[in-house]
Chain A
């Protein structure tokens, strides 16, 4: 048995039955990392010694019958923009290369309460800006299904690590698709929760009105388990919402009879790859077979959403990233004339090209003369997008779209064309604009063996509905039994 092939709930079961130990689980992952990390390049920091010590401690507790958490000793990988006390949190940026967080993000505290072991920090596009993980200061993560392709982004390290069995599951963050799109490219499950369901405290802010932390997992049940742990109101994040605690695993009923699924026809038009379209059409047929009521409808918001997204996200980023000034966060330029010179040199040296591009765009749309034409307009379009979704959810429980118009593209093929890279987010951004939950699950692979993902969007706080819809489909097609990453070069 290869432990790293197992899902978390399978490992949990085997731990319970004493078929495997925590130390064996950790050793299996460390061996796997030793074997595959050189090809995949998913980690910024690997916490080998730390993890070994914790595993020993937890195994002892289990042996003494003192450990009450059934997930204790399961490892996890964490996107490197989630703060971890005493461990580097770099955001894959030169600016934070040596930054060690003085505190834990709320999600990290919650994982620690369960005695889940942090195995390492995962690579990403710098400050979560990008869709390919090529904008990391440290390294380019490769797609385990084909090492010449990108893993998607910005949570590319998280998705690639889960797909390559380097970690059993991971946390990512999603501002415009950064969990769902890499999950789609890497053939795994990625969930972006409703805005406010998970605390953002300790997530290095990119665009505060859009950011959410969420799970990247092998299957839907693991996604529900991880969401159970991280969801909940946090006094340290005023935008987190006080809702009754739910058990998302219980929502997985393997039944979609009568479920109303809306398919927005605009999401299947120009720019959508033929094979992606075909795979989604098959998925729609599958849902019909399973008893769902599927209907095509019009939701003509994709292009407005994308433009609105880049205006709002960059505006918020230009403000959020103002704090990186060479005073408090490790990096400072060597030589400077005065304070302004220190700021300018530190920021020009510390930020990469894509980050600067977005800061410039954000500053532009907020500057006098353009504020009304772009930023204020975008905020109004945001209302329009929300209204359109509200109308759709009067008729449907779930909205079904591709996660991305294409499968994973070649490394280097879009780095010189930022706008083209941005267009890859066209199916996912509207979900963040409206603050909705969305999940990406794999459907099948294309002729070249690259995974194709489907996105299911739900109304606010209807994670139970989309998780069950995803689960039911997953159980009927069994993607993981049919396809595996090949690490081909």
Chain B
């Protein structure tokens, strides 16, 4: 499948990435090469097979719904790029 420049810009936007003008060509070339290689999956005879999601058999894993409070708030907040009192500070999102 041929990937266009518009497409890779669209994909980058979906992934919340900005590609510089001089980077686009390189990423496009890389993606095209890898996609061409990955196309081999379309040659495998898998029509009758189910999909596999995880490495182990898919079954529900249950445990008791017990509340364990994480008390070390300080240690969480030390990773905040911006904070105020006991809160992560983020830019205004509603105008």
> In the complex, are the beta carbons of A360 and B31 less than 8 A apart?
yes
Nearest to A382 among chain B residues (CB) is B52
B3 touches A378 (CB 8 A): no
**Which of B12, B17, B90 is close to A339, meaning CB atoms less than 8 Å apart?**
B90
- Could you tell me if B44 and A384 are in contact, using CB atoms closer than 8 angstroms? yes
Contacts of A374 in B (CB 8 A): 35, 38, 41
Residues A379 and B52 in contact in the complex (CB < 8 Å), given A344-B16, A364-B11 = yes
| B46 close to A (CB within 8 Å) | yes
Given A328-B79, A380-B51, A356:B41 Cβ within 8 A: no
Q: When chains A and B are docked, how far (Å) is the Cα of A331 from the Cα of B81?
A: 6
C-alpha spacing A357/B26, complex, angstroms: 10
Interface size of A by Cβ–Cβ distance < 8 Å?
74
Given A311-B41, A381-B46, A356-B51 contact (CB < 8 Å): no
The reply on B14 being an interface residue by CB < 8 A is: yes
Find out whether the CB atom of B27 lies under 8 angstroms from the CB atom of A356.
Answer: yes
* CB <8 Å contact, B11 and A241: no
**Which chain B residue shows the least CB distance to A102?**
B75
When A196-B55, A360-B17, A370-B1 are in contact, do A332 and B82 touch as well, CB less than 8 Å?
yes
**For the complex, is B78 an interface residue (Cβ under 8 Å from A)?**
yes
A381, B41: Cβ atoms closer than 8 Å: yes
Chain B 55-94 interface residues, beta-carbon cutoff 8 Å to A: 55-56, 61, 63, 70, 72, 75-76, 78-82, 88, 90-91, 93
Residue A418 at the chain B interface, CB threshold 8 Å? yes
**Shortest Cβ gap from B78 to chain A (Å):** 6
B27 to A: closest C-beta gap in Å: 6
The stretch of A128-136, A300-308, A462-470 in contact with B is: A300-308
Q: How far is the CB of B51 from chain A (nearest CB, A)?
A: 4
User: Of all chain B residues, which has the CB nearest A195?
Assistant: B55
- Chain B residues near A307: list those with CB within 8 A: 37-41
- A418-446: CB near B (< 8 Å → 1, else 0) gives 11001000000000111100000000000
Q: Tell me the residues in window 192-211 of chain A with beta carbons closer than 8 Å to chain B beta carbons.
A: 195-196, 209-210
In the assembled complex, how far is the CB of residue A110 from the closest CB belonging to chain B, in whole angstroms? 18
Tell whether, in the assembled complex, residue A102 and residue B15 are in contact, meaning their CB atoms are under 8 Å apart: no
Q: How far, in angstroms, from A26 to B39 measured CA to CA in the complex?
A: 51
Interface string of A335-359 (1 = CB under 8 A from B): 0101110111101100100001101
Given contacts A325-B16, A345-B18, A360-B11, A303 and B40 within 8 Å (CB-CB): yes
> Smallest distance from the beta carbon of B13 to chain A beta carbons, Å?
8
Of the candidates A100, A356, A364, the one whose C-beta lies within 8 Å of that of B79 is A100
Closest 6 CB pairs of A and B: A435-B55, A332-B81, A195-B55, A379-B51, A102-B75, A380-B46
Q: What are 10 A-B contacts defined by CB distance under 8 Å?
A: A85-B75, A86-B75, A99-B79, A100-B79, A210-B55, A325-B16, A327-B90, A348-B19, A380-B46, A380-B50
Residues in chain A within 8 A of chain B (CB atoms): 85-86, 98-100, 102-103, 195-196, 209-210, 235, 238-239, 241, 303-304, 306-308, 310-311, 318, 322, 325-332, 336, 338-340, 342-345, 347-348, 351, 356-357, 359-365, 367, 370, 373-374, 376-384, 386-387, 418-419, 422, 432-435
